[in-house]
Structure 1
């Protein structure tokens, strides 16, 4: 029995002292732990990476994104997952990608229309300041094709027919504000002709109506036009870059056809949100440049009408900034209107 003033037995005292020492040791350990640096995060990537593709599945950009994702899977030992987010001329998915956390787990595949969009849309992002360039993946031309019924076989034919019949030639595009629209408007501005724009919701219907003769001319991607040229259903008039296509070595460039300096490429690249770490940029850039050097990579890309590009992040940054400025100048002339 305890007396009026509670006392501790010898056992109680021993247990009390042990508990007190344990508390003191725990406190000391906590202080020591607080003084140490935080544990380092796992090396990137430590989980799947999403590649936002602002275009529908099944198109040329989607094919290049999936090819890139499969090669990055192998190189960086994590899944790279393609996430198609089409809409608003590619701006919907691009904005989602650029507004993601800059942690390296959301990248965005862009095409050459990325530079055009800044001239024709009120964007929810700055296409130069609000992104981190990583690498250009591909580069290629557009291919100017004509329906055989038009008898347009050369750039000279096209210019003469358009000057003789202002606004009577219909030209197709895969959508207002895209690179095909921009390239055609730039061409008309350079040579002083007028044609009528017929925009479609995608490359497939634009090509279908060019084949049917509803439209006379189409500044098309190579991949969609090449089979119809080989089948004799379309005439290849010229390519829009300074270098001829290996697949069509007899088809001249626009520059060779009397419009010096004309150069509108059809390209793809990878970007990330503003603030993306240089560690992530360096790893992805290195991996992409490495796999693009493989012979089968260029062979694969050429099936889509483009060739391997590669290069530094700064080269992609410079291309985007230069093209954005150029398309804005063209839009200021009243071209590139989106109804």
Structure 2
């Protein structure tokens, strides 16, 4: 995938800006649209996942600072369901006045879109910006004492482990599980789908399932508390949250980078005025550079990265155009 060449790193190095006109704007207020009237009422930010997951965690750290930058209230609304398509549909079908927007993450939601084939067109959404990249990983209940990806695969091959947990059927984690089953002989008998990272992680912590696949940010608290252990990070770029965890390629397996990492993006409904988009984008850019967000990023390892609306568009369209050429989507529709 092509990357923007114009990259600027701010004072702590935990946020980069990419795309056209990517100059650091720390301390600058967001520009108002030409009408000078937006925003004049509370804004709703839709998270198409349950509370407690990675997208929700980022929203609850970033949106208060966006609210401060805009001097306007922003309410976070969790709308889980249909492997993130329910909330995404609400974002795209909202009134295009700038008072409803939200975040979803290529290739995750685009995969759900390709599998379930809803009547609406996901590419009609207006990209606002990107704000982070997040890898997926495999995490296990410590009682099993799993030592890396090779050991995990051997446990499934022997029949010691039979259940593998992740997010909703037809989504990116389900796809990753199928890819690993085909490429790594990860022979689980049952894929257990949960409606969000929070419930899936709780199931692994309780012992309901032995292993869960989710983002590194979603699993961070459970690993820090000792309730889960990191088995593998599915992106060869690794994880800033779990820098010691090995990727499949580190463990001698083929890379699955094309589904191993999220690009976290924000979108508005189609036909929203571009000055409103630009106001939101500039506010997010400034919010990511605040001491509150950068300190959180530094302390947790949850790197934040600003990218232009062009970068968000590229991430979405690349997923829609590339995934079907790499994966037999019919296996997820059965």
Tell me, yes or no, whether TM beats 0.5.
Answer: yes
1:48 to 42, 47, 52: 42
Q: Return the index of the structure with the highest Cα Rg.
A: 1
What CA distance in whole angstroms lies between the structure 2 residues aligned with 1:327 and 1:91? 17
- The alpha-carbon deviation at position 151 of structure 1 amounts to 4.3
> Which residue is 1:176 aligned to?
169
Task: Please say if residues 92 and 269 of structure 2, whose CA atoms lie closer than 8 Å, have aligned partners that are also in contact.
Answer: yes
Report the secondary structure of 1:46's partner residue. coil
- The alpha-carbon deviation at position 134 of structure 1 amounts to 0.7
> Which residue is 1:328 aligned to?
324
Relative distance call for 1:297 and 1:118 in structure 2 (3 A) is same
| Deviant stretches of 4+, over 4 Å | 301-305
Give a deviation string over 1:120-142, Cα, whole Å, max 9, x none.
213132122x1111111222222
> Which residue is 1:225 aligned to?
219
Relative distance call for 1:125 and 1:306 in structure 2 (3 A) is farther
Q: How many residues align?
A: 297
TM-score norm. by structure 1 comes to: 0.76
- The 5 A counterparts of 1:163-312 are 163-165=157-159, 169-195=162-188, 196-263=190-257, 264-301=260-297, 306-312=302-308
Relative distance call for 1:251 and 1:60 in structure 2 (3 A) is closer
Gaps (5+ residues) in structure 2?
Answer: 1-33
What CA distance in whole angstroms lies between the structure 1 residues aligned with 2:44 and 2:329? 39
What CA distance in whole angstroms lies between the structure 2 residues aligned with 1:297 and 1:210? 29
What CA distance in whole angstroms lies between the structure 2 residues aligned with 1:70 and 1:180? 29
Give a deviation string over 1:84-126, Cα, whole Å, max 9, x none.
3333332222212211232222212223432221122131321
CA RMSD of aligned residues (A): 2.9
Relative distance call for 1:102 and 1:157 in structure 2 (3 A) is same
Give a deviation string over 1:131-179, Cα, whole Å, max 9, x none.
11111122222221123444431122223344454x9531011322333
What CA distance in whole angstroms lies between the structure 2 residues aligned with 1:51 and 1:201? 19
What CA distance in whole angstroms lies between the structure 1 residues aligned with 2:262 and 2:298? 13
> Which protein has the bigger strand share?
2
- The 5 A counterparts of 1:149-160 are 149-160=143-154
- The alpha-carbon deviation at position 199 of structure 1 amounts to 1.4
Give a deviation string over 1:223-270, Cα, whole Å, max 9, x none.
443344344443311112233334433211223222344221144321
Gaps (5+ residues) in structure 1?
Answer: 1-39
Give a deviation string over 1:57-108, Cα, whole Å, max 9, x none.
4544333223333222221222223233333332222212211232222212
Report the secondary structure of 2:332's partner residue. coil
Task: Please say if residues 238 and 254 of structure 1, whose CA atoms lie closer than 8 Å, have aligned partners that are also in contact.
Answer: yes
Task: Please say if residues 146 and 235 of structure 1, whose CA atoms lie closer than 8 Å, have aligned partners that are also in contact.
Answer: yes
What CA distance in whole angstroms lies between the structure 2 residues aligned with 1:97 and 1:161? 42
